[in-house]
Amino acid sequence: MIAVYPGSFDPVTLGHVDIIGRAAKITNKLVVAVLKNSSKSPMFNVQERVETLREVCLGIRNVEIAAFDGLLVEYARSIGANAIIRGLRAVTDFEYEFQMALSNRMLDDNIETLFISTNAQYSYISSSVVKEIARLGGDFSQMVPKAAHIKLLQKMGSM
């Protein structure tokens, strides 16, 4: 199975890393795909987010990092992926994720969305919370991989 794990990854968190590791075990190839034109205004540009993910996933043999824009199902088709991976942290994620999964199924019935539950220890983490703690000078080292921690500290220093 070739799968795509899409997201903003602004920045990648330990919750995302957990999902990537779990998804990589059950797929032949996993493409972690960074959304280029999100409605969110990102702290890191696409290039920076791709680079951080590459560093973080270096040791995982069947994982590739890419960027995409436009419709997710079209991107999935273009790389021969037949599955979309999404992480579920808590029941509150479900409604939004279910709506996306059904919309994507309406657009392409041959691409299945698979949900993986996040390790409970990361279920409270989100990229926005990480950025807020970073902006306010708090310790977020337990929430992100080392490469993202360094890049966030550098970004804070240059702001």
CA pair distance 138, 135, nearest whole angstrom: 8
CA pair distance 57, 144, nearest whole angstrom: 13
Q: Quick check: 87 binds ligand COA (CB under 6 A)? A: yes
Active site residue 40: yes
- Report the residue from 3, 4, 6, 20 that binds ligand COA according to the rule CB under 6 A: 6
Active site residue 128: no
SS3 72: helix
- If one counts every other C-beta atom within 10 angstroms of the C-beta of residue 86, the result is 20
Tokens of 123: 């279920």
Smaller CB distance to ligand COA: residue 62 or 115? 115
CA pair distance 17, 15, nearest whole angstrom: 5
Active site residue 77: no
Active site residue 16: yes
Q: How far is the CB of 121 from ligand COA (least distance, A)?
A: 11
Which residues are annotated as catalytic?
Answer: 16, 40, 89, 127
Residues near ligand COA (CB under 6 A) are 6-10, 13, 15-16, 19, 35, 38, 71-72, 87, 89, 100, 103-104, 118, 122, 125-128
